[in-house]
Amino acid sequence: MGRRIEGRARTLAPARSTRAWLLACAATAIFTAAPALAQEANPAPEAQDSAVADVTDDGEILVTARRRAESLQDVPVAITALEGETLRNQAVVKVEDLARVAPGFSSSQSVRGGSSPSYSIRGLKGATSQTLLLDPAVGIYFADFNLSRGTGTNQSLYDLQSVQVLRGPQGTLFGRNSTGGAVLVEPNRPSDRFEGYVELGAGNYEMRDVEGMINIPIGDAIAIRAAGKMSRRNGYMHDVVNDRYANELDATSARLSIRLRPSDNFESTFIGSYYKGGGADAAMKLYVVAPDGVTSGLGPARAAIITALQSELARAQALGPYEYRNQPGTFADVYDRARTIQNNTQIELGDTPLGKITLKNVIGYRDVANRYPDPYLTGSAVDLFHHEFGRLNSSSWSEEFQIQGDAGKFDYVLGAYYFKEQGTDGFDSVQFSYLASPEFLSTQPQAVRDYVRTRYPVRNRSETFARNQSYAAFLHAEYDLSDLLQGLNIAGGIRVTHDKRAVVYRGQNTTGMNPTAYRCVANSVTTTSFDRDACAVPTEISYTEPTYDASLSYKISPDVLTYLSYNVGYRAGGFNNSPPITGSLEGVSFEPEFVKSLETGLKSNFRVGGARVRFNAAAFYEWFSNIQRQTFRTASNGGVSSGVNNASSLRMYGGEFELSISPTRRLQFSGSYAFIRPKYTKYTDIQVISGVQNIIDLSDAPLGFVPYNQYSASVRYDLPLPESAGEVSAFLTWSGQSGMTPSDNATSNCGPAGTYFNCLNRLSRLPGFSTVNFRLDWRNVASAKFDLALFVNNLTDEVYYPFAQPLLTPFGTSARAVGAPRTWGVSLRVPFGDGGY
């Protein structure tokens, strides 16, 4: 492993995003100029688009977990695959909804807004305060293109062929290393049929929804597909202080795909996507006040703050479940925008001395803008911490080239990958501003007012420019050992990755009601106003790491597969948004995360009496070193910052189970269960008391933001109606999870004299919950050639809490989000063309 941190005098300046755009377009043009080569090659007799997950005539889903189309039941990988119709029936309209149907997958809210959550698979997640300086643990791929950041990914899911959730380290075949897993979203590609649909929806909370698609073939060589969706819904959380509603839905998505197929062995698909979201975003509601956690730095004002917080808690508890209190005059309208253009090109070279060769290229460019003013972090009208303005502007592009070979019993994928990302990330936050408010000062004695004026509020301006690059080469191969034992197969792969990160810190902070000094967070410079150049401190870090995997699978019969696999995964190290010590880069970086995973699994189809049964199971044991954990910490200037550090080691075992039973053609039951059992074997923190460093043992802390148990059950019934009446299907789904602790350092060890107040984070634990969804589909209503649907989400109107923000030190508060109440709606869908009735 190579690593360096340098503070260079040179300035890192962001290149224009158009430069990356032009490079992406140029590379695409060069590669797609290859039809002449493709037309001269021998066409493959069974050529198909291996990039696309498909569904066979008997309903079997083809997945691309190993970068080629294979039956779900034949792949020695723990994977949940859902085709487009199932997604619709299960009300999976956003990526976060996969938590209801994909065992082991979960998501957590982030301060950047509802379209930018942090995803988790098998307990591995990215930070809830996502930045350009930290890689996610779960990769999101759209048509094989890695979306890089969670920002803007939780958008509307529409006109999809499938979604695949891959569990476990993905360190060989996929574009970016990820230690938790990957989500592969496959849109419907342009086809040779003229078809389309228009769908209109309406429901409570003034829900309005418009979705449509049209596919137009142009001759034999070109097809165009356009699709889009617009969703609006009023908020359900009422701010009783400002008489505003939060948790709105305001999203617009569009997609244009163009497929070029001049010959049977050449295909190139261009996809352009656009997403924009906004509205008043997720509200937080105060539910814990811990007086011991309120910082002693408040001096004589501390007792008054504790009294105010306890009064706020009493007011919050007296409110209804969907009411909350916020600081007067504040709002939280989030804005997201994501644009993507990508190209997938595939050339079948046919038979060669190295077998049947397929060349594949995936290139794409994405830019993201995010604005997130967020006053909700403490969930009360006592304003101790809020973001005045958060902003992110970034662009990324990647290029991946693959050579896929089929030499009979030997299959292989050889490839190279390049990724580049850059942008600016930052926010303005204000801490302890309540102390400077007339409401507070007017009730305090002169000594308290004098103490507060020079120390509070604490204002922070965090600003970073980041540039991330990744280079990788990989090889994956499989060999059929049926000559040795019928049904036996061995596979393995290796990837070598070089990651390089560069960052320029430009943050400053001030203290007091009338500040005259602005202190730079990364050096010792003090200015009389905000001066970006005076504060600029660059630094770099780089890593080179191999990852690999191996698996042995045995097909006991055509319907039963068992496997054993070993995977080594890696997630690059990075930087925190702000140094923990003002005027120094000490502690600003964190190390790469490594995981070794041993997994065994079973995939089976069989019959019990007349019932068709599918049972898939996977069990795993994983070893982690330097696992990346996010904590809130008090900085040397008295403020608070969020940072990532490394826990030395963790062990975890768990499993996932999926069962489907079809007693009759009209009736189907399905269910799933996933569990994890993690345990830190070494995890410490440092607490400084009177200049003395104390080592705090955190090894009993739970894995934060992750439920240890998830479960679901569903039933589908097709009503026995005459053909002239149409087809009516009813779907009922119950899903839930155990409780979780929304903190990565919620130890029971309160340190020397009980002063390590992070132990208070255990008070923020959230209870488990479950919800029920219902959907009724009536297709081709009375042979009238349109569809109707009725849906009810959270049928039992369960009050539940999916996320919390513990700030128990230094603010003494923990606030939680409230899940959506019962929502319902109806939709009208009119298909036309070849896809109509």
pLDDT at residue 688, rounded to an integer: 75
The β-bridge partners of 343 are 270, 363
> Does residue 790 have a pLDDT over 90?
yes
pLDDT tens-place string over residues 566-614: 999 999 999 988 776 667 787 789 999 999 999 999 999 999 988 999 9
pLDDT at residue 90, rounded to an integer: 85
Lowest mean pLDDT among 69-83, 241-255, 616-630, 637-651: 637-651
Is 5 a domain residue? Answer: no
- What SS3 state is found at 121? strand
Count of domains observed in the chain: 1
Q: What is the span of the domain harbouring residue 353?
A: 17-833
- Report the b/e string of 184-222 with b at 16+ CB within 10 A: bbbbbbbeeeebbbebebebebebebebbbbbbbeeeee
Q: HSE-up of 658 (CA within 13 Å, CB side)?
A: 20
**Cβ(567)–Cβ(168) below 8 Å:** yes
Band of pLDDT at residue 124, cut at 50, 70 and 90:
confident
Is 12 a domain residue? Answer: no
Band of pLDDT at residue 279, cut at 50, 70 and 90:
confident
User: How far is the C-alpha of 131 from the C-alpha of 128, rounded, in Å?
Assistant: 9
pLDDT at residue 637, rounded to an integer: 45
pLDDT at residue 7, rounded to an integer: 34
Q: What is the length of the chain?
A: 837
pLDDT at residue 378, rounded to an integer: 84
Is 11 a domain residue? Answer: no
- What SS3 state is found at 155? coil
Which residue has better confidence, 374 or 820?
A: 820
> Does residue 40 have a pLDDT over 70?
no
Is 532 a domain residue? Answer: yes
How far from 282 is each of 245, 324, 387, 670, 822, CA to CA, in Å? 10, 11, 14, 32, 17
Task: Show the beta-strand stretches assigned E in 4-78.
Answer: 62-63, 70-71
CATH classification at residue 662: 2.40.170.20
Alpha helix (H) ranges present in 519-623? 532-535
Q: What is the mean pLDDT of residues 43-54?
A: 39
Lowest mean pLDDT among 28-32, 176-180, 549-553, 679-683: 28-32
Which residue has better confidence, 530 or 165?
A: 165
User: How far is the C-alpha of 228 from the C-alpha of 763, rounded, in Å?
Assistant: 44
> Does residue 112 have a pLDDT over 80?
no
Give kind and range of the element (H or E) at residue 88.
helix 84-89
Which residue has better confidence, 370 or 618?
A: 618
Q: What is the DSSP secondary-structure string of 733-785?
A: EEEEE--B-S-S---S---GGG--GGGGGGGGPBPPEEEEEEEEEEESGGGSS
Which residue has better confidence, 601 or 835?
A: 601
For the beta carbon of residue 652, count every other beta carbon within 10 angstroms.
21
Is 7 a domain residue? Answer: no
What are φ and ψ of residue 24, in 5° steps? -65, -45
Is 333 a domain residue? Answer: yes
Is 2 a domain residue? Answer: no
pLDDT at residue 54, rounded to an integer: 56
Band of pLDDT at residue 159, cut at 50, 70 and 90:
very high
Predicted TM-score (pTM) of the model is 0.89
Is the CA virtual torsion 637, 507, 578, 339 positive or negative?
positive
User: How far is the C-alpha of 189 from the C-alpha of 143, rounded, in Å?
Assistant: 9
Is 1 a domain residue? Answer: no
